[in-house]
Structure 1
């Protein structure tokens, strides 16, 4: 049987610098290929005259900043021109240049993305087109759901974003979209690197990344990544530590590929909710407390320490020339403990005249979060007459639970500090007792989501021009949640289950080989859940639907995309008080509409670009009277980013590159409600500029890269997200100040 070939006798790497003109990433898919394992690895050459080569594996990148395909659409390496949805890729070259320290920082080059409530900096959460939170299941790892804790680590190779409702592909979701972090894979071609960096706030890092064949094997490869980083927190106290150890192994057969990967992450981070808007300094425009941004009002013990264990197993099997099977299993186990001095963000808790701030002491001990994912999929490429069908169908099962073992809470806000002249260290947590002062509660909180799904999709190619993409997912969900009271009696407040259908439909027209036009309809769903308040069993899930049209261009050096969208989210819960009684309703609606533009790649042989713009208009259509008609939290109406790179060529024995750019986020809002005195808080716009300079030199077969990075060059004070609006002093997270770092990586 004739098999597809991935025989890459030579891979053009004529320019050494990452992202330099003509750099070609010609890796294949993560799926099995029926060629021999030794033929799956590319050999590099520095020769100016290269022999002709045959490349049948689909390229992911035409240049360092120009992606041309993605895995986030149904787990296949799909050309972006054939996808009737908005898809963005943060390429390895972008990550290498910008050196982001978090997921939301990595996504600065993507339009329509903002940081969501990160739970005081302990979770990774992003708002996509106005929707998203820290428990919306939208952050994936290699296409599988996991806990939204430290997903972005030194093992990340690239980040993919699929915008709009994605329940047909990924089950329980908000309608904003999904973010897929793709990790580095074992390679048969040997590669080894050692890296280190130093920077602002006493930051230091050291790491290794080794990959290659095991022994003399031409079918068994390994990868080992280890990284340690530590820094002082930029505010007046706190420390950040993170250790990552990630071994993985891959066996590559003629028709089968098996990959097993494990990642261990140990961390300590400040539990920092930021600062507070001052209700006495203007009713409608957000003004923070009149204290330095560096000053915290909690205590040095306010931090979280945890461990994250992540395991993934993938079996890819070619069944024939037309059909292949994939079996995926993913497991995440996250444990943590934290203490914090929680500030009472009410009129009674913050007195801006005297400076008195009232606090209580909270703690969560023995918290455990687990996610099991199992997926079996089949993909086929068949013809019925002149019509081509790219088929996909399968089943998935997930078990996601969150148990907050012991929750400690002092009974009242009895611990004060003066915001203008703070004295720290007068209080401390006392593990092993129910409360700090013996009168609080020691409770458990539980949240469990189980799902089972069957799905099918078909990309129908009518000739060379038209593609119709249709999908349907039938999903059973079982949602359970509750907590114990002060007498340690557990009460289940959420216990509902049922079936949901999530359809999607799209049409793509290939105008030319470089241009495509598309339109699509997509849906999402998310079961109602509450730990604290009882939800009736017949409460309908939140549902979303989206219409999107757009155009895409993929040239030899430059790619661009335009998209216009309209999203409705319905069955949103909200509270109504009448006659002294508070009632929860599940009929709320919210809307997000707008357009986006993206461009990435090389303008000239030396000048590279990454540009994005988003206009996002959000509105609460139906809710409690105070919130109706207001914009959604954490979503600027206008966002614009522009980053340029330039390759200066060789000097002083190596290649020099530099880049500079900025991201503008327009004013955004924190919606009012009765608890906040019916105020609409407006957070000011901000522009944050970054830059880098890179020097790369070769020493025989080895390579050294030295890089200088600057973030927030103008030291702009800006705010990134909010917890919410149910207070007279809403909490807002503060963006990092100016940071300078120097890094070096030696490849041998």
Structure 2
């Protein structure tokens, strides 16, 4: 019956979409033109716009196209930072193409000087994205909040790992590092009170069993709030999602080589090569590659990786183009050291000082390593159906493996009389991992930009198929000694000892599970006026859980609907907007084997849902020199499944998460760039089990977070090319265990400061970075305790040719 309803809803969406296409008759025209200098040279990257109607950027030949312009008379403007703008009149006739040439009062030589001395007006404010709304939409037009970490910021901070890159995203804080264990994926982070992982690459599934490499990152997008309407439920959280946008080929010959060396044996070499492959520049190729090795700051531990990411684009003609992206990561290392607290017995310690843990103890051996190879391939076809409509077909295929030793430290218990408590001794459990997670995603998107009467519509309608298959032949977990936080260890950490223990524990046998999701979605942005717009979106999602080794009781299907609404009013056109949204996210809930009055039954549940109300302001002032956002959100999660007794469950738990987020980037004058953010989150569980009722969930992370970075580069004079940077992060205390029965374990607040210096001359760039200037001892955790790195120093040299 559910399948019948799903097919009915799916056909309804398709017919609705087809009707919209038929209704959108062309009453618009096109403007094509060129922007040139006073001596006739082409101006690249100039901004061309009709206020409140459309905008574009010129290509390397100075050409631009403005599509779907309603018939009428307009003033069109071309501008480039540092030069006087040019404005001309143009008349648009329905169904025809108008041409215009705009000129900037500068020679080619003067233009080059402006670009070199001025650079980007705000290199930290890279907000425009085709992924956040699955359509081209300006930040000020989008009723959803998102943060962007640019490649320029990563380069300036000499970032060599993905986790450090996310320290620049307001409201994001690490819960624990990637373990390498099968199915765990990348590290976990808190966002708006919920745990989230970086699972999307270019808006598509990009799972990994280890940390991502930063060499191929164009930018990182942190999209805030439950986003199930456009992105489903399988790879995101109610707090939002993390999307990594990779570097793409461009029409030029360029090569960058960089080497970084630093504390604890850090050696990193990366290369970025880009070139056209044919005389007509229709086929473009780019490859990013990196090799990195690094030891732990502890008494044992290491990680080494090899990474290569080729990318190929082919523009067949003005209508058809193809894009192929691939990433191959081969990594090997030891598990990060984390102490897992027992979650069923009262704690005997409540903070790090009482625990007496020496963070230099790794409790591991370099012999006990794990390999985590990852392969990801994405293929995309873009076809221009008409001046109003475009088609995008994308296919993504990924594989993430775990092969080797994984171990963890879990606190034991002791019994005194009738009372059982934790004992402060952490048993080591080890497994021989042999797992593979394979993903396939196929999407078909249609995007339109058209007018119905005088009202502009921008729409995306799509179909999505996602498949995740998990294969495992890992061993059972075997005991391998026990440790005390002060450093005592009874385990023999050799491969021989580990193999003997694992052989005694045996293997659990093969398992193969599969999850499939069939989805359809429509999202439309309607411009009631040039300043007032609304977004209406809906998704229907059919989830199927199964697989060869999945028990019959665990095979199930669920259908979920996810709506989204948003309003934006631009108080100052393209400068200041106020917005509000209602957003929805959902999670599929598996049935469980339960009992009622001693009779075994299978209990089924409805999908879990999260609903968010949010409002705030966004700015892009002083020609882009000051950008930012301020918002308040309120998220309620309902239908949480609760354990009400042995083999007894009910569905009715709730979680509330509300807070304030502020972010801004600024470029007060050439050379000076500032980015900063502050977030405050209040979270609690209600209608929960007695032990957690009214308490902050451990996945919420610290309540208060601050991030900031300020940099200055000298652009003229004898010291031209010299730059400095300074910033860091603050996190309030974190309740990594918070339970009425078990107790509370608190990680103290901390402030971490970092600084950098750089010098660029000719094709060379030299850099120096010091992280954790004050050598602060601090920890992260999520019912676990993980020590973070002390002071580290790294230096780099780069050459561009």
Could you tell me how far apart the structure 2 residues matched to 1:720 and 1:418 are?
A: 19
The alignment partner of 1:346 has SS state of strand
Could you tell me how far apart the structure 2 residues matched to 1:646 and 1:89 are?
A: 20
The alignment partner of 2:715 has SS state of strand
Q: CA deviation at 1:180?
A: 0.9
1:733 to 786, 793, 799: 786
Partner of 1:495: 555
Partner of 1:17: none
Whether 1:105 and 2:164 are equivalent positions in the alignment is: yes
Partner of 1:156: 217
Q: 1:548 to 1:6 in 2, by over 3 A?
A: farther
Could you tell me how far apart the structure 1 residues matched to 2:592 and 2:150 are?
A: 38
Indicate the larger mover: 588-597 or 396-405: 396-405
Q: CA deviation at 1:690?
A: 1.2
Q: CA deviation at 1:420?
A: 4.0
Q: CA deviation at 1:548?
A: 0.4
Could you tell me how far apart the structure 1 residues matched to 2:59 and 2:121 are?
A: 13
1:115 to 148, 171, 174: 174
- Superposed CA deviations along residues 413-434 of structure 1, whole A, max 9, x for unmatched, are 4624565454687244469979
Could you tell me how far apart the structure 2 residues matched to 1:404 and 1:287 are?
A: 40
Could you tell me how far apart the structure 1 residues matched to 2:455 and 2:384 are?
A: 23
Q: CA deviation at 1:628?
A: 0.9
Whether 1:716 and 2:744 are equivalent positions in the alignment is: no
1:466 to 532, 546, 551: 532
1:253-402 alignment, distance < 5 Å = 253-275=317-339, 284-285=350-351, 287=353, 289-348=355-414, 357-365=426-434, 367-402=435-470
Partner of 2:761: 697
Whether 1:174 and 2:237 are equivalent positions in the alignment is: yes
Partner of 1:230: 293
1:2-13 alignment, distance < 5 Å = 9-11=42-44
Report the RMSD for the aligned CA atoms in angstroms. Answer: 3.4
Partner of 1:21: none
The alignment partner of 1:93 has SS state of helix
Could you tell me how far apart the structure 2 residues matched to 1:452 and 1:600 are?
A: 39
Q: 1:231 to 1:284 in 2, by over 3 A?
A: closer
The answer to whether the 8 Å contact 1:187/1:211 transfers is yes
The alignment partner of 1:589 has SS state of strand
Partner of 2:522: 456
Partner of 2:90: none
Whether 1:242 and 2:305 are equivalent positions in the alignment is: yes
Q: CA deviation at 1:449?
A: 1.8
The alignment partner of 2:682 has SS state of strand
Could you tell me how far apart the structure 2 residues matched to 1:681 and 1:549 are?
A: 34
Could you tell me how far apart the structure 2 residues matched to 1:532 and 1:475 are?
A: 25
Q: 1:631 to 1:286 in 2, by over 3 A?
A: farther
Indicate the larger mover: 196-205 or 397-406: 397-406
Partner of 1:209: 272
1:570 to 638, 641, 650: 638
The alignment partner of 1:66 has SS state of coil
Bigger Rg, which one: 2
- Superposed CA deviations along residues 57-90 of structure 1, whole A, max 9, x for unmatched, are xxx9752112241223233332100000111111
The answer to whether the 8 Å contact 1:234/1:737 transfers is yes
TM-score (norm 1): 0.85
Partner of 1:144: 204
Whether 1:541 and 2:607 are equivalent positions in the alignment is: yes
The answer to whether the 8 Å contact 2:340/2:408 transfers is no
Partner of 2:657: 592
Q: CA deviation at 1:99?
A: 3.1
The answer to whether the 8 Å contact 2:736/2:744 transfers is yes
1:547-626 alignment, distance < 5 Å = 547-555=613-621, 556=623, 557-577=625-645, 581-626=646-691
Q: CA deviation at 1:683?
A: 1.6
- Superposed CA deviations along residues 604-636 of structure 1, whole A, max 9, x for unmatched, are 333221010001001011221101111021421
Could you tell me how far apart the structure 2 residues matched to 1:299 and 1:364 are?
A: 17
The answer to whether the 8 Å contact 2:208/2:400 transfers is no
Could you tell me how far apart the structure 2 residues matched to 1:277 and 1:427 are?
A: 22
Q: 1:275 to 1:101 in 2, by over 3 A?
A: farther
Could you tell me how far apart the structure 1 residues matched to 2:140 and 2:690 are?
A: 44
Could you tell me how far apart the structure 2 residues matched to 1:28 and 1:240 are?
A: 42
Q: 1:196 to 1:439 in 2, by over 3 A?
A: closer
Could you tell me how far apart the structure 2 residues matched to 1:11 and 1:692 are?
A: 32
Indicate the larger mover: 78-87 or 283-292: 283-292
Partner of 2:742: 678
Partner of 1:91: 150
The alignment partner of 2:179 has SS state of coil
TM-score (norm 2): 0.80
Whether 1:404 and 2:469 are equivalent positions in the alignment is: no
The answer to whether the 8 Å contact 1:168/1:502 transfers is yes
The answer to whether the 8 Å contact 2:301/2:362 transfers is no
1:200 to 244, 249, 263: 263
Aligned residues: 691
Q: CA deviation at 1:338?
A: 2.9
Q: 1:616 to 1:423 in 2, by over 3 A?
A: closer
Could you tell me how far apart the structure 2 residues matched to 1:273 and 1:46 are?
A: 60
The alignment partner of 1:460 has SS state of strand
Whether 1:82 and 2:141 are equivalent positions in the alignment is: yes
The alignment partner of 1:106 has SS state of helix
Could you tell me how far apart the structure 1 residues matched to 2:423 and 2:228 are?
A: 51
The alignment partner of 2:249 has SS state of coil
Could you tell me how far apart the structure 2 residues matched to 1:88 and 1:456 are?
A: 24
Q: CA deviation at 1:501?
A: 0.8
Structure with higher helix content:
2
Q: Which runs of 5+ in 1 are unaligned?
A: 14-24, 36-41, 54-59, 484-489, 725-730
